Amino acid sequence: MSHPGEFLPYLLRRLGLPGKASSARLEPLSGSSPSSAQRLTVGDVRYVVRRGTPEMGPRDFSREFEVLKLLQGSGLAPAPVLFDSEKRFIVYEYLPGVAWSRKMLIEEDALDTLTDSLVRLHSYSPPGTVLEPVKIMEHYLLNAEPIKRAVLTGLCLGAVTKLQDGNLALCHQDLWCGNIIQGWSTRFIDWEFADGGSPLVDLATLICYHDMNDDEAEKIWRAYVNKAGWKPAREDLDAWCTIVDCLTVAWCMYISLLTPRPDLTKLFYVRAAARLGLDSAIWNEKPVS
């Protein structure tokens, strides 16, 4: 990536706005790392710029951009604007609105709008690739302690073998309140992990990321099933929750080796490990930097 001071002129040239430097402003996006997501304001027009960062490793922005193109006009995602493969960044429409709160996940009216958007998302066919939880686990755990790698892989494999429904759809796969924007409709942002998979993985991430209890999880399940008009095995949702928790713990271990981000990892790690029944004396000992 070029020097920070050189990026804005380059970005404006790529957008076909080289003469707009005096009215352009690039600033950190609230809730994101300053180097990974920024808001570009050019006059009255706003964009989001997502960039690759060394500590997060290479990101497949090309896939994210293709998903945004697939969903263009759907009212589910921001419109794509630009993908730059040389400097590894994408630009898309800035969505006005407010991020969801955990409380909204169990409010009847809000849950109705959310499940409506999810059902419409899951009506799209997979993008040609499919989520492979065990393969992802192996990547995250490459440098983990052997005993932890064996335990997590075993838990993940056990849950995968219990899955009964084979339906595949386009899924967001990183669905938490910060990625749900409420404006004139309920839309989703940050599509870098989007892939083919079971629609239940999006329900599982909502449940696990927000540490929802059984009653709350059941409320989300029923709202979705009633809206979708089909009913996969309820046990599949439990299995996907286990898989999501395994991936969360593994990701936290992986990311802690790259960069100290306790703000991103500590809470997710501790809760996921507890739900998996992992020995806190072993698993909570310096899980992240």
Q: Is residue 145 part of a domain?
A: yes
Q: Which has the closest alpha carbon to 154: 236, 243, 233? A: 243
Is residue 23 a contact partner of residue 34, using CB atoms and an 8 Å limit?
no
Residue appearing with tokens 């027009």: 45
pLDDT value of residue 58 = 47
Q: Is residue 289 part of a domain?
A: no
pLDDT value of residue 1 = 43
SS3 281: helix
Do 158 and 247 belong to one domain? Answer: yes
Q: How many CB atoms lie within 10 A of CB 25?
A: 12
Domain hosting 247: range is: 99-283
End position of a domain, from candidates 68, 93, 118: 93
Do 131 and 56 belong to one domain? Answer: no
At 240-270, the pLDDT tens digits run 999 999 999 999 888 887 776 666 667 788 8
pLDDT value of residue 160 = 96
Q: Is residue 272 part of a domain?
A: yes
- Mean pLDDT score across all residues of the chain: 88
Q: Looking at the predicted structure, is the pLDDT value of residue 285 above 70?
A: no
Do 117 and 131 belong to one domain? Answer: yes
At 177-201, the pLDDT tens digits run 999 999 989 999 999 899 999 999 9
The percentage of residues in the chain with a pLDDT greater than 90, rounded to a whole number, is 65
Considering only the C-alpha atoms of the chain, give the largest distance between any 2 of them, rounded to a whole number of Å: 59
Do 267 and 134 belong to one domain? Answer: yes
The four Cα atoms 253, 256, 262, 263 give a dihedral, to 10 degrees, of -90
Strand (E) or helix (H) holding 38: strand 37-42
SS3 26: strand
Do 70 and 172 belong to one domain? Answer: no
Do 225 and 116 belong to one domain? Answer: yes
At 41-70, the pLDDT tens digits run 998 999 999 987 544 544 678 889 999 999
Domain count, the chain: 2
**Which CATH number do you get for residue 65?**
3.30.200.20
Do 110 and 223 belong to one domain? Answer: yes
Q: Which has the closest alpha carbon to 205: 283, 107, 105? A: 105
Angstrom distance (rounded) from CA 82 to CA 240: 34
Angstrom distance (rounded) from CA 117 to CA 240: 20
